Amino acid sequence: MHAAALAEISRGDPRFADWRYHAFDVEPERLPEALALLASRQFRGVNLTVPHKIQAVGLVAEIDPAARQAGAVNTLLLEGGRWRGFNTDGYGLSAGISGDLGVSIEGTPVVLLGAGGAARAAAVECLRRGCSGLWIVNRSRANLESLLGLLAPLAGKIPVHGIGPGFKAGDTPRGALVINATSAGLRESDPEPVDLRGLTGVRAVFDMIYNPPQTRLLATARALGLKGANGLGMLVHQGAKSLEIWSGVPAARTAPVMKAAAAKALGS
């Protein structure tokens, strides 16, 4: 995805001709060592995935306000020999939902499934974008309460509700955008994270999972005649925003190239 974008922008700008994107496997306990080594080798930037996103917050010199609110960073930029931390997941989520579903988070009630790291960034973005209300559904009450505590200072006048398992249709709003931020759906044997038939008047469904391209949740959404989209758009847009942070090239310019390369790699 990044290689395709770099190849494209280097055609018109020789500054990027020798830029390369590499993948490294780093054990969590060696992340501080790895970041120090990458800085010493003058890497321009770094993407982080789980479980490094939260750990890295305490390892960077400066954190972007949006990333601080989310309590996680997925993009680092080296400036003056020190790492600055950003989080592009929220941008990727809203851009993916807007582009693939034609739905704006602003003014829309959101039912968010999950309370882990992915859900944390999604919840913060929904509040920042001005959703009309946020309903968080999670099996673990402890994780749910932790997320609700994090969101309380950010919510302002936006109502935020925590819902445990076994909830009823009346516990969620009509016309909601349902966002799956759990890992349920990665395997064919996984149960659906929620029974869409038990929700009232769902507007659309966005599943952060992009491989497989159609989870059971999205298959049910299609059977019910609902708009549905997987997480490929989110993956692409968060990556394009990361590249913008490193290069200054607008994400809107590289996103189409990245999406084509990602879709080709996934065989979809």
The residue count for the chain? 268
In angstroms, rounded to a whole number, what is the distance separating the alpha carbons of residues 260 and 103?
Answer: 22
CB 158: neighbour CB atoms within 10 A?
15
> Catalytic site residue 157?
no
Residue of 53, 168, 227, 241 with catalytic role: 53
- β-pairing, 133-137 with 177-180? unpaired
Does residue 74 contact residue 239 with C-beta atoms inside 8 Å? no
Here the tokens at position 85 are: 């931390």
Q: What is the DSSP letter of 78?
A: E
Q: Which amino acid belongs to residue 115?
A: A
Contact of 124 with 130, CB cutoff 8 Å: no
Q: 5 — phi, psi (to 5°)?
A: -65, -40
User: What are phi and psi for residue 43, nearest 5 degrees?
Assistant: -65, 140
**Partners of 76 in the β-ladder:** 46, 85
Which residue numbers are catalytic? 53
